[in-house]
A and B are shown apart, each in its own frame.
Chain A
Amino acid sequence: MKTKWIIGIIAAVILVIVGIALFDRSPDQAEAGLIKIGVVAPLTGDTAFLGEGVREAMLLAKEQLGDTEYQYELIFEDDQLDPKMTASATNKLIDIDGVDVLVSFSSGSGNVVAPIAERNEIVHLGIASDPNVANGFYNFIHWTPPAEEARVFVEELEKRNISRLGMIVPNQQGAVAVADAVKERLEGTDIEIVNEQTINAGDTDFRTAVNKAKDGNPEIYLLFAFTPELEILGRQMKEAGITTPLTSIEAFELTEERDLFEGYWYVNAAEPTNEFNQAFNSRTGKNQTLGAPNAYDIFNLVVSVTEDEPQRPTPKDIAEGLKDVENFNGALGNLSVGENDIILSPAAVRIIQNGQPVTIK
C-alpha cells in the first residue's frame, strides 16, 4: 500500500515538472525570425478531406515561398469540427506552441477560436461564413461573404424564373448566417420562400421535415446542411419521392457523395486561378477542395504583411497590416480587406457535373 502511494506521488511530481516545462515555453523563447502559424482544421472524421485540402494548400504556399526575411512554421491541429476539440487545440497552439497567427476552418470552429484569439491578442483568420467570427481587433475572415453569395444566388433564381423556394436549414451558425442573407436579399423580389424547415445538426432522421417540406410546392429546394446531414437529407428526399431540383450555397462541395446532387446548380466561392488549381493538383493529385484556396491566400497574406515589417512583427503589427490589405493578388483573385475585417472575394454559380464542381457563371 505504502509503495503504491510513493509511486503515485513520484508520478504526480513528474507530471507537474513536465507540465511546467511545456507551459513555460513562452513565445519569447522562439527564434527571433520565426513566425508560427497554427491551423485548426478537421484532419480526421467526416470532413477530413476538407481539412486535408486546407493543409495541402498551406503547405503548397509555404513551398512556393522564395527568399524571405523571416522563417515560417505551420503547425496543424485536428479538431474534427468539434467545438470542444477546437478549444483545446487552440489553447494548445497558443500556450505550448506559442503561435503568432491562428487559422480556423468553418463558422463553428471560428466562433470558438475568435474570442480566445482576441483574449490572447493573437491574429486569427477564419475560413467562415458567419460575420461574427471577425469580431474584435485581431479577428479576420477570408470567405466569400454571405451577402455576396446571396446576391449571386438570387440573381440566378431570377434568371431561371423560379418564384417558389423551399429551404432546409440546420441550426448551425454558418448556415443560419447564409440563410439570413438570402432572406434579406429576397426582400422586394417576386421570389417567395414557400417552405422553411429547420433541422437539428447531428440528427439522422429528417423524414418528417422532408415530408413537411413538400407543402407549398416549391420549385426548388435550397439545402444548407453539412456532412453527414447533407447526404442523409439527400437520400431521404429521394426516398420520399421528391424529384424537385435541389440547390445549395456551399453545401454540395462539403460532401464526397456528390453523385446525390449530380446535375444541380449551386452557388459557391468563385473558381480559384488556374495557377493555383494546377499547382494544387500536381502536389496532391486531386482537385482543390472547399476552403483550400482561402487557406493558400491566408498564408500568403500573412507572409506579405509580415515581410513588410523591418523588425519581427508583433501580432498587433500583423493585424494592423492585414487591415490595410488592398488589391492583393491571391488564388481567389484580387483581394482587399473590407469593412468588418472580411477579406472580400466574389461568388460564382457552379454545377455538379460527373461528380465534380464546374463553374458555369
Chain B
Amino acid sequence: MDIFIQLTLNGLIAGSIYALVALGFNLSYGTMRFFDLGYSALIAVGGYTVFFLSRQIGLPLPISILIGTIMAGIAGYIIYLLVYVPLRKRKASNMALLVASLGIFTVIQAVIGIFFSSQFRTLSGPVDAERIFHVFGGSITRIQVIILGTSIVVMFALAIIFRFTTFGKSIRAIGDSEEVSKIVGINTSRIIGYVLFIGSAIAGLVGILVGFDTGITPTMGFSLLLKGVVASIIGGVGNVYGGVVGALFLGLIENYGIWHISTEWKDAIAFGLLILFLYFRPQGIFRK
C-alpha cells in the first residue's frame, strides 16, 4: 500500500511539472499553431537566472524567483518580436517556424553553456535541510508540495483569464481563427505577444521549480518539453485544461507503469501511450 501511495505522489509531482509545461506550450501552440522548440530553452532561462541572481549575486530568493520568471517571459516576448513576427509577416510555413525555433533553442542553450558551463547545478540547499512531509505512508518534500500548489494556482489563474477577461476571449478567438479575429478588430499580433510572454514566464517558472527539485542544465528543457507535448496530445492539443488532465494522466501512468517492471521503461511507456492516443484517439481526451 505504501508503494502505491508513493507512486501516486510521484506521479502527481511529475504530472504537475508536465502540466505547467503543457499549459505554456498550449498557450503558444493555441495562438501561433506551430511546435515552438524555443520554448524549451526558456525553461533553462528561468532556472539559470535564479541561479545567477541568488547564488552568484546573492539576491534574496523570492526576488530572484520573480525576476527569473519575468526574464523568461521577456526573453519569449523578444524572440517573438525579433524572429516570429518577421517570419509570420512573410507567411513563413510552419516548417520554417519550427526550424527557426530549433535555432533559437540551440543558440540559447549554447549561450547558457558558455556563461555557466554545461555542468549540472542545483538551486536547492543541503539535502538534510529539505523539509519532508509524510502522507499516508508516502513522503513528499516541501519543494514538491510547492510544485503541486503552483501548477494548481497557474491552472486556475489561466482558467479565470480565459473565461472572464476580454484578453482571454481574444486568445480564444485567435485560437479559433486568427484571420476572423483580425477582421473583428482584435490586435492579434499584440495579443499573441502577450500570450507568449505569459507562456514563456510559465516556462521560466518550470525551470526554477525543477531547479529546486532536481537541478538545472542548459538542455534541461528539451525532455520536459517533449513530455509536455505528449501530455498536450493526450489531453487535446490547444486545449489548456486538456493539457493539465493529460499531464497528470501521463505522470501517473509513467509511475504506475514501472511498478513491476524496470524503471528504464519509463520513457518507453510515455511514448507508447502517445502512440496509442495518436492511433485510437488523435483528438486527445478533450476536443479543442
Contacts and interface: CB of A to CB of B under 8 A. Distances in A.
Interface of A: 44-46, 48, 80, 171, 197-200, 202-209, 211-212, 215, 227-228, 231-232, 234-235, 238-241, 259-260
Interface string B1-40: 0010011001001100000000000000000000000000
B89 to A, nearest CB: 21
Given A204-B215, A208-B10, A208-B255, A198 B263 contact: yes
Given A48-B117, A240-B139, A260-B127, A211 B6 contact: yes
Given A44-B118, A205-B14, A208-B255, 20 more contacts: A46-B118, A48-B117, A197-B262, A198-B264, A200-B264, A205-B214, A207-B6, A208-B7, A208-B258, A208-B259, A211-B10, A212-B3, A228-B215, A231-B120, A232-B214, A235-B214, A238-B128, A239-B139, A240-B6, A241-B132
B7 A211 contact: yes
Contacts of A241: 132, 139
A240 B10 CA distance: 11
A199 B130 contact: no
Interface string B256-269: 00110011101100
A228 B217 CA distance: 10
Given A208-B10, A212-B259, A80 B214 contact: no
Shortest Cβ-Cβ A-B pairs, 4 listed: A228-B120, A209-B263, A204-B214, A45-B118
Contacts of B127: 234-235, 238-239, 260
Contact of A80 (B118, B210, B223, B267): B118
A46 B120 contact: yes
19 contacts: A45-B118, A46-B119, A48-B119, A197-B262, A197-B263, A204-B210, A204-B215, A207-B10, A208-B7, A208-B258, A209-B263, A211-B7, A211-B10, A215-B3, A231-B122, A232-B214, A232-B215, A238-B128, A240-B6
A205 B127 CA distance: 15
Given A199-B264, A239-B139, A211 B117 contact: no
A209 B210 CA distance: 19
Contacts of A240: 6, 139
A129 B7 CA distance: 34
A228 B120 CA distance: 6
B141 interface: yes
Contacts of A239: 127, 130, 132, 139, 141
Contacts of B6: 207-208, 211, 240
Contact size range, B: 20 to 34
Interface in B257-284: 258-259, 262-264, 266-267
Contact of B117 (A45, A202, A260): A45
A238 B131 CA distance: 11
Interface core residue of A197, A228, A241, A260 (most chain B CB under 10 Å): A228
A44 B263 contact: no
B225 to A, nearest CB: 14
Contacts of B259: 208, 212
Contacts of A44: 117-118
B120 A227 contact: yes
Contacts of B118: 44-46, 80
A200 B119 contact: no
Contacts of B130: 239
Contacts of A46: 118-120
B143 to A, nearest CB: 10
Nearest to B11: A208
B22 to A, nearest CB: 17
Interface in B82-133: 117-120, 122, 126-128, 130, 132
A206 B263 CA distance: 8
Interface core residue of A46, A202, A211 (most chain B CB under 10 Å): A211
A202 B3 CA distance: 24
A200 B266 contact: yes
Nearest to A255: B120
B93 to A, nearest CB: 22
Nearest to B141: A239
Nearest to A213: B263
A212 B122 CA distance: 25
Contacts of A198: 262-264
Contacts of B141: 239
B227 to A, nearest CB: 10
Contacts of B264: 171, 198-200
Nearest to B7: A208
B215 A200 contact: no
A130 to B, nearest CB: 18
A209 B266 CA distance: 10
A5 B109 CA distance: 32
B55 to A, nearest CB: 15
Contacts of A235: 122, 127, 214
Contacts of B262: 197-198
A239 B6 CA distance: 12
B263 A199 contact: yes
Interface core residue of B7, B118, B119, B223 (most chain A CB under 10 Å): B119
A196 B128 CA distance: 26
Contacts of B13: 207
Interface core residue of B130, B263, B266 (most chain A CB under 10 Å): B263
Contacts of A48: 117, 119
B233 to A, nearest CB: 21
A204 B126 CA distance: 17
Interface core residue of B258, B259, B266 (most chain A CB under 10 Å): B266
Nearest to B128: A238
A212 B139 contact: no
A141 B130 CA distance: 42
A62 to B, nearest CB: 27
Contacts of B220: 204
Given A45-B117, A48-B117, A80-B118, A203 B266 contact: yes
A200 B267 contact: yes
